[in-house]
Amino acid sequence: MKPKVLVTREVFDETLEYLAQYCEVESNQPDAPLSPQRLAERLKDKDGAVCALTDRIDEQLLAGCPGLKAVCNIAVGYNNIDVAACTARGVMVTNTPGVLDDATADLAWALILSTARRITEAEAYLRNGEWKGWYLKQLLGVNVHRATLGIIGMGRIGQAIARRAAGFEMRVLYHNRRRVAPEIEQRLNATYVSKEELLERSDFVVLQVPYSAETHHLIGAAELKKMKRSAILVNSTRGGVVDDAALIEALANGTIRAAGLDVFENEPRFNPEFLKLKNVVLVPHIGSSTEATRRAMAMTAAKNLVAALTTGDPPNLVNPEVRKR
């Protein structure tokens, strides 16, 4: 008998076709977000799930799904999953690292360039019929080339962002929980510094750390005040890493020059005060959103699930200690 699995959100046809070779699949192709109660109801008789960041997998849900063996996130992050609770119940948790690194790094750079050159502000200016012709001080931005880029979080995506900086002849500073290997620093021409020094010296500060209790409000009012008044902040990682209320105040008061944001606290309900500001570029969590990348993410999650349910050894296991159970 094939194991029963739930795909919680819409995926590509090839993902479902692959899963169907090994599993009895229940899918949600209409893509209606599932409430916690509805998600628990649909998972109660399932062996596994391909889930999304919008799905909260916690102890309360797990208690009602005793047969669940694996939850496979279509994301590299997994702060929507209580990993400790899953481990305690013998549930494997997987993610999709690697396949989205370049797309997410590209999006971070789109935000760097858009904020530096005031692209969304300029487009609105044109669309609203305000453009009457060229003049010398029109929508003055800042240079990206030869500026100083500070990256907080030098994992795979942080390194991909740093590689792209070489084309702009930028100085690269970074801060990380652990210093990366010397050969990586040399290859990226990146210098390790404290978080405080990075904030004080960087013209662009890019955040690329996972969200956790330790990184909650990693950037708040105090950190924003350490930055240059001419600096630009880019958050392309997770909402909650930045104190959005403090950032809004800093942007309104000129504490920093601008910000580019792909993620927000409490998304999709973000602070409406952002909409009153011209010096912020806002996009709706599209860091990995290219067709090729999202297809690869969905298929990676599906392969993780099949491996978990057939061999018990999925390739991207987040909680390897679960094997002891």
Classify residue 30 by burial, with Cβ atoms within 10 Å: 0-12, 13-18, 19+.
exposed
Q: Which residue out of 118, 175, 201, 285 is catalytically annotated?
A: 285
Range of the domain at 20: 4-99+291-324
**Is 259 in the same domain as 308?**
no
175 is catalytic: no
Domain count for the chain, please give it: 2
Give the mean pLDDT of the chain.
97
**Is 70 in the same domain as 169?**
no
Q: What is the pLDDT of residues 233-279, one digit of tens each?
A: 999 999 999 999 999 999 999 999 999 999 999 999 999 999 999 99
**Is 243 in the same domain as 141?**
yes
**Is 92 in the same domain as 188?**
no
Buried b (16+ CB within 10 A) or exposed e, 104-119: bbbbbbbbbebbbbbb
**Is 142 in the same domain as 232?**
yes
| CATH number of residue 228's parent domain | 3.40.50.720
According to the model, what pLDDT value does residue 324 have? 77
**Is 115 in the same domain as 252?**
yes
According to the model, what pLDDT value does residue 203 have? 98
Percentage above 70 pLDDT, the chain: 100
267 is catalytic: yes
Placement of tokens 């001419």 in the chain = 230
Q: What is the pLDDT of residues 69-123, one digit of tens each?
A: 999 999 999 999 999 999 999 999 999 999 999 999 999 999 999 999 999 999 9
Q: What is the pLDDT of residues 283-294, one digit of tens each?
A: 999 999 999 999
**Is 319 in the same domain as 186?**
no
According to the model, what pLDDT value does residue 47 have? 98
According to the model, what pLDDT value does residue 254 have? 98
**Is 92 in the same domain as 216?**
no
Confidence band, pLDDT 50/70/90 cuts, at residue 214: very high
**Is 153 in the same domain as 298?**
no
**Is 142 in the same domain as 210?**
yes
216 is catalytic: no
Confidence band, pLDDT 50/70/90 cuts, at residue 323: confident
According to the model, what pLDDT value does residue 313 have? 95
**Is 107 in the same domain as 95?**
no
Q: Which residue out of 9, 238, 257, 294 is catalytically annotated?
A: 238
Q: Verify cis geometry, omega within 30 degrees of 0, for the bond prior to 272.
A: no
Other Cβ atoms within 10 Å of 85 Cβ, number: 17
Other Cβ atoms within 10 Å of 218 Cβ, number: 20
**Is 165 in the same domain as 314?**
no
Looking at residue 151, the DSSP 8-state letter turns out to be E
Q: Which residue out of 249, 267, 273, 295 is catalytically annotated?
A: 267
Distance between CA atoms of residues 179 and 299, nearest Å: 32
